[in-house]
């Protein structure tokens, strides 16, 4: 996964998708657990994104916090809740919704979340 994101950040138009468009994208990693995806994105695009990892399992989040701290990442935050618990003011900062293992009920929760986000703003889908 790290190689894929590193490749995106280093070559071609897709690799520079975050540069010059928005100062800093806020990404929401839903069901992120210990932050495997969130930490990878945050380290690859450091300075160009902020990642919030959301998961109802505090133990997993704690492991992720420790990993992010060991890597010196200051652009990751952790929230112990489900996607359905996110308040409108928290969602208003989200530009991109991520999910590594969004299957079953979590897939439905992510789709509901995206619908809630779209209801708050106009423009293309998140």
Identify any residues that bridge with 114 across adjacent strands, giving them in sequence order.
none
Q: Would 101 be classed as within a structural domain?
A: yes
Most confident of 1-5, 53-57, 90-94, 112-116: 53-57
* Tally of domains within the chain: 1
Q: Would 11 be classed as within a structural domain?
A: no
What token pair was written down for 100?
């590594």
Q: What is residue 64's predicted lDDT score, i.e. its pLDDT?
A: 98
Residues 6+ apart with CB under 8 A from 102: 30, 31, 109, 110
CA distance 14 to 24: 16
* This prediction's pTM: 0.75
Q: Would 100 be classed as within a structural domain?
A: yes
Q: Which residue has the higher pLDDT, 116 or 56?
A: 56
Q: Render pLDDT for 12-39 as a digit per residue (tens, 0 to 9).
A: 444 455 555 556 889 999 999 999 999 9
Host domain of residue 95 = 24-120
CA distance 123 to 32: 26
Q: Would 16 be classed as within a structural domain?
A: no
Q: Would 78 be classed as within a structural domain?
A: yes
CA distance 115 to 117: 5
Q: Would 14 be classed as within a structural domain?
A: no
């Amino acid at each position: 996964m790290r190689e894929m994101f590193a490749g995106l950040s280093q070559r071609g138009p897709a690799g520079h998708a975050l540069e010059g468009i928005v100062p800093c994208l806020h990404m929401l990693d839903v069901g992120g657990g210990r932050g495997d995806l969130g930490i990878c994105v945050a380290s690859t695009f450091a300075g160009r994104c902020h990642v919030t990892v959301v998961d109802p399992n505090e133990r997993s989040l704690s492991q992720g916090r420790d990993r992010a701290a060991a890597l010196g990442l200051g652009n990751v935050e952790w929230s112990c809740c489900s996607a359905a618990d996110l308040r409108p003011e928290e969602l208003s900062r989200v530009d991109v919704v991520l999910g590594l293992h969004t299957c079953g009920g979590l897939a439905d929760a992510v789709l509901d979340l995206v619908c809630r986000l779209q209801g708050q703003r106009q423009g293309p889908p998140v």
